[in-house]
Amino acid sequence: MEAPLTSNIKPGVSLDIKTYEATGGYQGLRKAMQMTPQEVTALVKESNLRGRGGAGFSTGMKWSFVPMNVEGPKYLICNADEMEPGTFKDRWLLEGNPHQLIEGMIISAYAIQATTSFVFLRWAYKQAAQEIRKAIAEAYAAGYLGNNILGRGFHLEMHLHTGVGRYMCGEETALLNSLEGKRAVPRAKPPFPQISGLFGKPTIVNNVETLSYIPHIVNKGIAWFQSLSRTGDGGTKIYGVSGRVNKPGAWELPMGVTMRELLEEYAGGMQHGYSFRGALPGGASTDFLTSAHLDVPMDFTSVAAAGSRLGTGTMVVLDDHTCPVGFVHNLEHFFAQESCGFCTPCREGLPWTEKILYALERGEGTEEDLEQLDLHTRLLGPGNTFCALAPGAMEPLQSALKYFREDFEQHVHEKKCPYGNYTH
């Protein structure tokens, strides 16, 4: 089973440029530079590579919206602000194989003819920062960055920018504002960043995993890419599992493995004495799936059909000893705190849900509170808020209310947390 993104990564080691080149690194770039930018975009579009940041939008399609015959700078940005609770897949790539990302970024920048690129890195990823900084320097020294790359007349600068730890910066337009030195609040679309992005110039923002795939697709072609997958969504995917399983971790697997395979074969099943109640399949901002969904293939389309989202592909498992209300309370605390404060429903609605969940946990919740929670899951839906943060925050809550309703009601009726949270 091929794992192009991670097979060369060794634990505790970051591939330097020599080792990376020895494994075929920068061959994709050489190949891409023989193509026109439009050909590169067309190739990626045809491969049906879907964004690995969570939304699953076609990468090639995104690039194709960048105007190609305009004056002035364009930007390519790697979104490495991995802050989704339960998600740690990009970190693996950033720390283990930074050149793979850099090569992907150079090819992508070439495709849209960007001349400046940024890695927007989560502040807490200190090790990754160090490796990326070193790798960028190596790439400059080797002539992969800077003027006249590979003698093909293409010019690209690359900078590492470390954020200050705001979940909001994972939203691409808030990331752009933050990178400009402004408040990390999202922007209205249209105009899309492809037209008016960083400093009002055409900009592409892609996820680490997405960009890391580009060299491989260019190198080995579309057929190869699609053959890696079990489903219509091509390639492999880095999946992760956290929670009370025997072997929490992340694995690069064919797109479309089932939840059951992931849970039982790779994560080693539930720990002794715990049983599976449900999981957030794609990180904290996705809907719970339950044991009824264990055979759903983990690809964008299938998970959506099951009522959740593939998101980042990193599953957070809820076991039978953990209070679902407490579980969701913890998440809503995070989301409320990470709300940027720009639009009303998110700024005021999320703290409200957090407070209700806390009250439920303390045995102070009422039936009316449950109604308020239901109301919020409806009113904080997509389109009602300025960006996707609050709708994402509502996904675990709405599905918990759906699948674990009896737990919520128990909190109300017993006037305490049945799992013993907040009891003295």
Shortest distance (Å) from residue 180 CB to another protein:
9
From residue 82, give the alpha-carbon distance in Å to each of 167, 314, 422.
8, 12, 31
For residue 409, what are its two tokens? 């009601």
Residues 83 and 49: their CA atoms lie apart, in Å, by: 22
Give the SS3 label for residue 160.
strand
Among 52, 91, 166, 237, the residue binding another protein under the rule CB under 8 A is 166
Residues 46 and 53: their CA atoms lie apart, in Å, by: 19
Range in contact with another protein (rule: CB under 8 A) among 35-43, 243-251, 265-273, 380-388: 380-388
Question: Does 337 interact with another protein (rule: CB under 8 A)?
Answer: yes
Tell me which DSSP letter residue 167 carries: G
For residue 319, what are its two tokens? 């076991």
Size of the site for another protein (CB under 8 A): 38
For residue 267, what are its two tokens? 């994560």
Q: Which residue has the tokens 């970024």?
A: 105
Question: Does 200 interact with another protein (rule: CB under 8 A)?
Answer: yes
Range in contact with another protein (rule: CB under 8 A) among 12-20, 142-150, 372-380, 413-421: 372-380
Range in contact with another protein (rule: CB under 8 A) among 122-130, 134-142, 255-263, 350-358: 350-358
Question: Does 325 interact with another protein (rule: CB under 8 A)?
Answer: no
Partners of 207 in the beta sheet? 79
Give the SS3 label for residue 54.
coil
Q: Could you give the string, one character per residue 54-93, with x where binding to another protein holds by CB under 8 A and - elsewhere?
A: ----------------x-----------------------
Question: Does 194 interact with another protein (rule: CB under 8 A)?
Answer: no
Q: Which residue has the tokens 């990180």?
A: 283
From residue 58, give the alpha-carbon distance in Å to each of 46, 215, 238, 310, 363.
9, 16, 17, 14, 46
Question: Does 362 interact with another protein (rule: CB under 8 A)?
Answer: no
Range in contact with another protein (rule: CB under 8 A) among 83-91, 250-258, 367-375, 411-419: 367-375
Please give the residue ranges that form the binding site for another protein (CB under 8 A): 70, 166, 168, 183, 187-188, 190-191, 195-196, 199-200, 336-345, 347-352, 355, 359, 368, 372, 375, 379, 383-386
